[in-house]
Amino acid sequence: MACYEPCRHCSGLTKLHAPDPHGLIFPFPEPPAPGQLIEVAPGIFWARIALPFRLDHVNIYLIEDGDGFAVIDTGIGDEATKQAWLALMAGALAGKRLTRLFVTHFHPDHIGLAGWLCERFGTPLLTSQTGYLGCLNISLSPGASEAPVYKQFYQRHGLSAEVTQVVSTLGHGYLRQVTPLPPTFTRVVAGDVLRIGGRDFFVLAGDGHAPEQLMFHCPEANVFLAADQILAKITPNISVWAVDAEGDPLGLYLRSLRALPQAIPPGTLVLPGHQLPFYGLQERCAALAAHHAERCRLIAGAVAKGPHSVAELVPVMFTRPLDPHQLSFAFSEVFAHVNAMLRLGELRWAEPQGEIMKVMTAG
């Protein structure tokens, strides 16, 4: 038998749930237990799947769709996640079919079990072309990032050989977290209007965290499925990778933070890919933009004292000790801030003094 928590709506919400210091309101203070669903809006349900990482879960959403449910995202492709889905199908979703699987982006915690779910339950896959091809590219060529040109890129910007090896082999770990994708998919693009369960869901896309990350807005249900673009308590990783060394993912992310408050009305319930659903999209977008502006100020202050490599700027932004895996992501996020500041003319590359490149104040 399905175990649902009663749906709660915005009427009287501010009296029942006081905003946090950042102006966000959390109508569901506890996540669903394993194998259970919480109804967050009429016909829209929230499940949580465990992850074996520091960020220990991913949110899955199910939307009533005829005689079954449309699914948003999957969890990683491991045995524990398969068992979690089998428990859902035998319990909360018993007797229902999975009508469609929408994947928001190609990170393993969102697309990892897509191939298995589609094959096991005969479910069609719908995602962005970038998401599908991005996952396929890494799956087919997991060792591509080990090419000398990529390793030289990381070492040229100050990473040790040890951390460079970790970064360049991330593709191998990806394979262990993603089941093989179906050979075909249906492309979803920004501007599409999806009819799910008799309601219209308007498709948006955002960059920065993942290329062409899909998001879905249903005005009738007053919900915005934000994927990882907007999270309540943490910031999504924004990284530069060697394959796109001069890219500006932070600039693209900030562009999204400016656009979303204009596209989504205040008072819309945000359903994120991690952590709790919340009200306060406009406030959260402003806070995220301020967070990244502060990180740029930290970099500017350090570089004002002399040229720094990207690796030397990591402890400026990340003060706690980092293991090699964490350092690889921290380095890539610092690089995103450096590239954004280079684009804005706030930094420039210093004249080479040896093999390691450094940035300096542009003035």
CA-CA-CA-CA torsion sign (50, 51, 56, 57): negative
pLDDT score recorded for residue 354: 87
Query: pLDDT (tens digit, 9 = 90+) per residue, 280-290?
Result: 999 999 999 99
Flag whether pLDDT at 15 surpasses 50: no
pLDDT score recorded for residue 3: 30
pLDDT score recorded for residue 20: 66
Flag whether pLDDT at 10 surpasses 80: no
Flag whether pLDDT at 11 surpasses 60: no
Identify the CA nearest to 216 among candidates 206, 207, 208. 206
pLDDT score recorded for residue 128: 98
In angstroms, the Cα distances linking 243 to 139, 149, 178, 344 are 16, 9, 21, 22
Flag whether pLDDT at 67 surpasses 90: yes
Q: What is the mean pLDDT of residues 32-56?
A: 96
Q: List, in sequence order, every residue forming a beta bridge with 321; answer none if it has no partner.
A: none
Q: What is the mean pLDDT of residues 334-362?
A: 95
Please, which contacts does 194-203 make with residues 24 or more away whose CB atoms are closer than 8 Å? 196/63, 196/65, 196/70, 196/100, 197/43, 197/63, 197/64, 197/65, 197/66, 197/70, 199/43, 201/63, 201/225
The residue to which tokens 């829209």 are assigned? 44
Q: What is the mean pLDDT of residues 157-182?
A: 86
Full residue range of the structural domain in which residue 285 is found: 4-361
* Cα 198 from Cα 64, distance rounded (Å): 9
pLDDT score recorded for residue 16: 32
Please check whether residue 90 is in contact with residue 153, taking contact to mean a CB–CB distance below 8 angstroms.
no
Query: pLDDT (tens digit, 9 = 90+) per residue, 115-145?
Result: 999 999 999 999 999 999 999 988 888 888 7
* Cα 128 from Cα 342, distance rounded (Å): 30
pLDDT score recorded for residue 328: 86
Query: pLDDT (tens digit, 9 = 90+) per residue, 223-276?
Result: 999 999 999 999 999 999 988 999 999 999 999 999 999 999 999 999 999 999
- Domain tally for the chain? 1
Residue 156, H or E segment = helix 148-156
**Among residues of the chain, what percentage have pLDDT more than 90?**
80
pLDDT score recorded for residue 113: 97
Question: Is 217 strand, coil or helix?
Answer: strand
CATH of the domain at 237: 3.60.15.10
Confidence of residue 4 (pLDDT cuts 50, 70, 90): very low
Q: What is the mean pLDDT of residues 204-229?
A: 98
* Cα 285 from Cα 260, distance rounded (Å): 8
pLDDT score recorded for residue 13: 29
The reported pTM is 0.92
Please check whether residue 181 is in contact with residue 190, taking contact to mean a CB–CB distance below 8 angstroms.
no
Residue type at 146 in one-letter notation? E
**Among residues of the chain, what percentage have pLDDT more than 70?**
94
pLDDT score recorded for residue 21: 60
pLDDT score recorded for residue 12: 27
* Cα 279 from Cα 27, distance rounded (Å): 8
As a whole number, the mean pLDDT across the chain is: 91
Query: pLDDT (tens digit, 9 = 90+) per residue, 69-111?
Result: 999 999 999 999 999 999 999 999 999 999 999 999 999 999 9
